């Protein structure tokens, strides 16, 4: 750490600098209304045109270059990112550090950070978020586009400002959890005729070194809150990005290191651990003897392994999203299908909140103008999706690209199965991206199946595929959807009914199944839009994971309470 | 549930009835000063003589009888408790229920309980604690004596009123965690030119069925807070007592069932699962598909198995207590040794907080009258223990009995090892209990060993054995003690030094090691006394477990947040 600037000289400044924003966020978290310190449209960013140009230039400068990161234990370089837009390697070479060196450095960095006051840490971390926003947002937007494959607008909102908001939200919960513990107490009681007077000191002790895995398709939205939850509570964090999507997290790590160092703390509180798809290091990190916390976002298979094998480390996961839609009755079927089609297309359904399984009564959907048959609803939904994706320019805006080559194979496999066991409502096909002719793209695949084809739809198929499932009736549709969410891990659910009693029943059923429910929503808001400070995330009630990001449970276990007590000399007790 | 009395009719009454006590407890938890609604001396219990006589009679009535408990799935009877005082079977026969029947009944009971308001649940649970205190305390005291083997006074304080206090403390934290979530919000934001207005509802959803294991030597102190943590957050609880110590928990379960039913809830929210030492059911309970939470107090071996195998259930454990003492320098050596001797003897060191390993500089301990050599300190400590236990009447008060036959064998084995590898400072031997000549008893065994004999002292030896360990110097003693606590699981630590800087160093070191530290304490308070509302329990920073009992982390994961959101009809938004 910096020998001149003592940590305790900084705190007041940085926390005071961000106090107004932080306190506003505290209010939003309590009331859960709509608020953000950041404009959600790129055009409203301060001096937007210049900032965007600078961000693009900063991103372009990374191509083909060595990413500077002064980490301990450097043992070479690696980098295998390929842009889903250009299908060409980014050519960024990152320093690779030895795992033990990273853990040793992280552990050594914790001391002063853990001893700093809560507000000191919160102030430094608010400064890091602010620095990401002010100096690196558009650079990160382009880095997300050319690794995760998101559109510019989604990268700005979902991987930029919304992710920053989720970070602030975590800091609010972390401070609330830590403020609940008084730092000192005086305790006095008689034992027999003797009065015992003890001064007690309660210390918040971090668990140690956290490992934060970020995923290929949505790197920052989960990782930033997870990093902040560990850091705010005094831990160090080793960030392990998916090898396909390193750059957004490498920029993040560099920013955190710089802000920490400038505040007088050890930059090794945040480091980057890298691997390749051929030689993954995930298991080594999870089972390293110094690992105290694991945050994981990614595949179901590895997520379940993490949950089972992280002990004694604490594990927070977000894995499957086998998300469900039930339509019983509607006031405006076109509006419902339009909203649903939009949400099915959004970033080619590569979001943890994207719907996949659509349960309909086989009798059809009731509307003010009579019942519309099952086949017609399915067809009109497919038409709505087709209408959104027929024009390449519109398709590019909404579908963006496929993050991984494997998604094509998944779609082909699902189409073949669907043909054999049900009906293909809409065939998938590449579309020609107007700006990036080489982009890895696909329009959505839609299948109609019976509810018996549970082995097809009963897990998350990551990418633009959805299943329209014929159920006995509306009650059966609700029962199937909630059962599947509970069993296979549903994060979100969408429900349409004009029957208030049935809505109430669905609310209870999805609450128990642990899927966050949206009822009867139509209009321009994407159905799966999750608002920071207002919408809770993963419930932990089903296999979708337990990393709510947004509640006390996400932070309380990351620090522990150690106390010491000692007698107060008799002279002191009389004046107390 | 009761068909006439709706749950929601009750809450105001019961919560209001206990509101003053509860709010006083909230204050105590925040400030962590000394307070309890209960007098700690049996003699100060209201109408003490009559209450004690009635409690004894109630206990005596259990002997040789069938314990009535109207649980589902009865498949026979069992009961194998033997009094450590009389060495005779208690002869209580308990109904044994099928495991699946208990889970089904527990799951079915959750609905109304989970839907009830937080204050409804808190009110009912405060009533249950109050009922235990008013109507069953002395019955439980005798039940604890004749199963766990505690003395009357310890059973009254440690297994009675202190355990009730820990229960109230958990309710305070549970309410704080749940009150942090607003039940409803209205959220509005523009998307393009359209204003979206959503009403959001946030539900607290219990995880499901909790399994609470209670231990043989201290059944209520951990189990009551664990049960309350799960129940307050809306879960059902299956209580699984150690087969040697069933009666205190059987009485507890019956009280909870009666209070729940009287309040209009399903009594099956709390049930009793029983087994025998020959045919344990612990693993079946932990891995039952409906198990959502496990609270475990007991052996290290099974505790570690629980931690590794409970997934996807949440696990809270308290296992080893490899507790340490370091003596560097003192102002009054006799006072220190007296306090230490008392604490080593308390309930024959069968407490999770009992010290075991005493690390001394081999040069001896500094005092105002010069350094007292290592051997002399060790001898004087052994003499102090001997003085406390030489008179059977005094021994009975402080040592009470050994809970298990296995403890004799452990002591014999340790004595043999100590003789071979070090020196026996004090030999263990049965003492003759003045009231119960057949009682299973032993005076403490004390061994002097080098720090290399880590395989002897490096785990909890459950019972009255302690190790005086020669270290290179005071710094080495501190390093050894904190290393052993961190590695083997230390819950408490005791430290003596007149050097303020060394004390500060020790405070930091034990905080990191995760042992709750008591510094320079002498006098009549047992060194390991843990005060409810003030002293935190297990830190979770070492293998002693993670069940702090006393903080937000102990409750936050037991419930989750499920939300639903739906558009507000346009007519409603204008008036909002």
Q: Looking at chain B, which residue has its C-alpha nearest residue A516?
A: B563
Q: Looking at chain B, which residue has its C-alpha nearest residue A497?
A: B566
Please name the residues between 11 and 50 in chain A that touch chain B, using a CB distance below 8 Å. 30-34
Q: Count CA atoms closer than 13 A to B352's CA, side-chain side.
A: 29
Q: Do the beta carbons of residue B219 and residue B141 sit within 8 Å?
A: no
Q: Residue B513: count other Cβ atoms within 10 Å of its Cβ.
A: 23
Q: Mind telling me how many Å the CA of B573 is from chain A's nearest CA?
A: 14
Structural domain ending residue among the three candidates A487, A519, A551: A519
- Domain shared by A28 and A123, yes or no: yes
Q: Looking at chain B, which residue has its C-alpha nearest residue A311?
A: B308
Chain A partners within 8 Å of B549 (Cβ): none
Q: Do the beta carbons of residue B350 and residue B245 sit within 8 Å?
A: no
Q: Which of B320, B505, B513, B540 to mutate to test the interface with A (most CBs of A within 10 A)?
A: B540
User: Token pair of B102, please?
Assistant: 């208990």
Please name the residues between 123 and 162 in chain B that touch chain A, using a CB distance below 8 Å. none
* CB proximity B560 to A under 8 Å: yes
Domain with residue B389: its CATH number is 3.40.309.10
Chain B partners within 8 Å of A521 (Cβ): 198, 565-567
Q: Residue B490: count other Cβ atoms within 10 Å of its Cβ.
A: 32
Does B8 score more than 60 pLDDT? Answer: no
Structurally, how many domains does chain A consist of?
A: 2
Q: Residue A416: count other Cβ atoms within 10 Å of its Cβ.
A: 11
CA-based angle B450:B455:B458, to the nearest 5?
A: 90
Q: Is the pTM of this model over 0.90?
A: yes
Q: At what angle do helices A333-345 and A392-399 cross, to 10 degrees?
A: 70
- Domain shared by B359 and B450, yes or no: yes
pLDDT digits (tens, 9 = 90+) for B519-554: 999 999 999 999 999 999 999 999 999 999 999 999
Q: How far is CA A277 from CA A219, A354, B545, in A?
A: 16, 26, 37
- Domain shared by A38 and A169, yes or no: yes
Does B5 score more than 60 pLDDT? Answer: no
In a domain, A543, yes or no: no
Please name the residues between 219 and 248 in chain A that touch chain B, using a CB distance below 8 Å. none
Does B460 score more than 60 pLDDT? Answer: yes
- Domain shared by B213 and B66, yes or no: yes
Residue B3 pLDDT class (50, 70, 90 cuts): very low
CB contact under 8 A, B205 and A551: no
Look over chain B and give the mean of its residue pLDDT values, rounded to a whole number. Answer: 95
Q: Mind telling me how many Å the CA of A35 is from chain B's nearest CA?
A: 9
Complex confidence, ipTM: 0.95
In a domain, B527, yes or no: no
pLDDT (0 to 100) of residue B320: 75
Nearest CB among A182, A201, A536 relative to B30 is that of A182
* CB proximity A568 to B under 8 Å: no
SS3 A282: helix
Structural domain ending residue among the three candidates A504, A519, A534: A519
Q: Mind telling me how many Å the CA of B191 is from chain A's nearest CA?
A: 6
pLDDT (0 to 100) of residue B4: 40
Distance CA A186, CA A179 (A): 18
Please name the residues between 190 and 219 in chain A that touch chain B, using a CB distance below 8 Å. 191-192, 194, 196, 198, 200-203, 205, 207
Structural domain ending residue among the three candidates A519, A540, A558: A519
User: Token pair of B19, please?
Assistant: 């509101």
* CB proximity B557 to A under 8 Å: yes
Sign of the Cα torsion A395, A398, A403, A409 reads negative
- The order of strands in the sheet holding B314-318 is B270-272, B236-241, B209-214, B291-297, B314-318
CB contact under 8 A, B562 and A200: no
**Which residue numbers in chain A have pLDDT < 50?**
1-11, 575-576
Q: How many residues does chain A have?
A: 576
Range of the domain at B229: 12-318+552-562
Sign of the Cα torsion B290, B293, B298, B304 reads positive
- Domain shared by A398 and A497, yes or no: yes
- Domain shared by A328 and A313, yes or no: no
CB contact under 8 A, B308 and A311: yes
Residue B195 pLDDT class (50, 70, 90 cuts): very high
Chain B partners within 8 Å of A187 (Cβ): 32-34, 531, 534
Q: Do the beta carbons of residue A112 and residue A261 sit within 8 Å?
A: no
User: Which residues fall within 8 angstroms of residue A21, CB to CB, at 6 or more apart?
Assistant: A37, A126, A168
Per-residue pLDDT, averaged over B361-382, amounts to 98
In a domain, B511, yes or no: yes
Per-residue pLDDT, averaged over B211-231, amounts to 97
Q: Mind telling me how many Å the CA of A504 is from chain B's nearest CA?
A: 10
Residue B11 pLDDT class (50, 70, 90 cuts): very low
In a domain, B66, yes or no: yes
Distance CA A372, CA B41 (A): 75
User: Token pair of B27, please?
Assistant: 């204050």
Q: Do the beta carbons of residue A198 and residue A187 sit within 8 Å?
A: yes
- Domain shared by A285 and A425, yes or no: no
Chain A partners within 8 Å of B511 (Cβ): 203, 205, 562, 564
Cα A72 versus chain centre, distance: 28
pLDDT (0 to 100) of residue A569: 82
In a domain, A35, yes or no: yes
Q: Which of B27, B187, B307 to mutate to test the interface with A (most CBs of A within 10 A)?
A: B187
pLDDT (0 to 100) of residue A571: 61
Q: Mind telling me how many Å the CA of B32 is from chain A's nearest CA?
A: 6
Domain with residue A34: its CATH number is 3.40.605.10
Nearest CB among A30, A312, A507 relative to B182 is that of A30
The residues that bridge with A493 in the sheet, in sequence order, are A324, A517
- Domain shared by B305 and B329, yes or no: no
Q: At what angle do helices A118-148 and A219-232 cross, to 10 degrees?
A: 160
Q: Do the beta carbons of residue A306 and residue A211 sit within 8 Å?
A: no
In a domain, B99, yes or no: yes
Chain B partners within 8 Å of A300 (Cβ): none
Chain B partners within 8 Å of A543 (Cβ): 312
CB contact under 8 A, A561 and B543: no
Q: How far is CA A248 from CA A136, A221, A257, B111, B348, in A?
A: 10, 11, 14, 45, 59
Distance CA A364, CA A329 (A): 9
In a domain, B547, yes or no: no
- Domain shared by B277 and B335, yes or no: no
Chain B partners within 8 Å of A181 (Cβ): 551
- Domain shared by A242 and A370, yes or no: no
- Domain shared by B71 and B134, yes or no: yes
Distance CA B462, CA B349 (A): 7
pLDDT digits (tens, 9 = 90+) for B68-102: 999 999 999 999 999 999 999 999 999 999 999 99
Please name the residues between 475 and 504 in chain B that touch chain A, using a CB distance below 8 Å. 503
CB contact under 8 A, B563 and A203: no
CB contact under 8 A, A32 and B524: no
The residues that bridge with B296 in the sheet, in sequence order, are B317
How many helices (H) and strands (E) are present in chain A, helices listed first? 19, 19
CB contact under 8 A, B564 and A519: yes
- Domain shared by B119 and B24, yes or no: yes
* CB proximity A562 to B under 8 Å: yes
Distance CA B283, CA B45 (A): 40
SS3 A525: coil
Percent of chain B whose predicted confidence (pLDDT) is above 70: 97
Q: Do the beta carbons of residue B494 and residue B358 sit within 8 Å?
A: no
Per-residue pLDDT, averaged over B485-500, amounts to 97
Residue B115 pLDDT class (50, 70, 90 cuts): very high
In a domain, A313, yes or no: yes
Chain B partners within 8 Å of A177 (Cβ): 552
């Amino acid at each position: 750490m910096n020998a001149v600037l003592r940590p305790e000289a900084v705190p007041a400044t940085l926390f005071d600098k961000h106090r107004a924003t932080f306190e506003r966020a505290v209010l939003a978290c309590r009331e859960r209304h709509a608020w953000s310190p950041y404009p959600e449209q790129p055009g409203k960013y301060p001096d937007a045109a210049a900032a965007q140009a600078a961000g693009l230039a900063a991103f372009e400068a990374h191509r083909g270059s060595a990413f500077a990161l002064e980490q301990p234990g450097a043992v070479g370089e690696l980098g295998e990112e390929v842009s889903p837009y250009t299908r060409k390697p980014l050519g960024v070479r990152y320093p690779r550090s030895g795992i033990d060196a990273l853990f040793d450095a992280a552990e050594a960095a914790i001391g002063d950070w853990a001893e700093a006051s809560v507000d000191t840490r919160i102030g430094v971390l608010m400064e890091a978020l602010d620095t990401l926003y002010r100096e690196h947002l558009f650079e990160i937007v382009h880095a997300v586009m050319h690794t995760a494959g998101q559109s510019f607008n989604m990268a700005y909102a979902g991987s930029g400002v919304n992710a920053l908001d989720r970070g602030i939200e975590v800091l609010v919960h972390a401070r609330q959890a830590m403020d609940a513990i008084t730092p000192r107490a005086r305790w006095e009681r008689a034992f027999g005729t003797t009065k015992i007077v003890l001064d007690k000191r309660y210390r918040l002790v971090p668990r140690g070194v956290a490992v934060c895995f970020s995923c290929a398709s949505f790197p920052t939205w989960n990782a930033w809150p997870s990093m902040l939850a560990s850091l705010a509570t005094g831990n160090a964090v080793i960030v392990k990005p998916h090898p396909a999507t390193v750059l957004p997290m490498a920029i993040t790590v560099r920013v955190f290191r710089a802000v920490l160092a400038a505040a007088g703390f050890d930059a090794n509180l945040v480091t980057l651990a890298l691997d390749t798809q051929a030689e993954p290091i995930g298991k080594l990190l999870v089972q390293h003897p110094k690992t105290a916390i694991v945050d994981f976002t990614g595949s179901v298979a590895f997520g379940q392994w993490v949950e089972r094998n992280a002990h004694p480390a604490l594990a927070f996961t977000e894995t499957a999203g086998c998300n469900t839609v039930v339509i019983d009755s509607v006031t405006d079927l076109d509006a419902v299908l339009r909203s649903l089609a939009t949400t099915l297309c959004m970033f080619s359904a590569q979001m943890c909140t994207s719907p996949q399984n659509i349960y309909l009564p086989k009798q059809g959907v009731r509307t003010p103008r009579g019942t519309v048959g099952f086949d017609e609803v399915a067809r009109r939904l497919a038409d709505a999706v087709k209408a959104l994706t027929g024009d390449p320019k519109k398709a590019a805006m909404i579908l963006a690209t496929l993050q991984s080559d494997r998604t094509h194979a998944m779609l082909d496999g699902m189409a073949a199965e669907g043909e054999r066991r049900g009906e293909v409502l809409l065939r998938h096909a590449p579309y020609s991206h107007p700006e990036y002719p080489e982009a890895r793209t696909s329009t959505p695949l839609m299948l109609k199946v019976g509810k018996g084809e549970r082995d097809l739809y009963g897990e998350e198929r990551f990418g633009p595929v959805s299943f329209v499932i014929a159920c006995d009736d509306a009650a059966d549709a609700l029962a199937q959807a909630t059962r599947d969410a509970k069993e296979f891990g549903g994060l979100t659910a969408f429900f349409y009914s004009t029957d208030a009693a049935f809505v109430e029943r669905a609310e209870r059923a999805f609450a128990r199944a642990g899927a966050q429910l949206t009822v009867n929503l139509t209009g321009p808001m994407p159905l799966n839009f999750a608002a920071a400070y207002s919408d809770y995330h993963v419930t932990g009630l089903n296999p979708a994971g337990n990393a709510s990001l947004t509640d006390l449970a996400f932070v309380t276990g990351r620090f522990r309470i150690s106390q010491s007590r000692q007698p107060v000399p008799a002279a002191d007790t009389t004046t107390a």
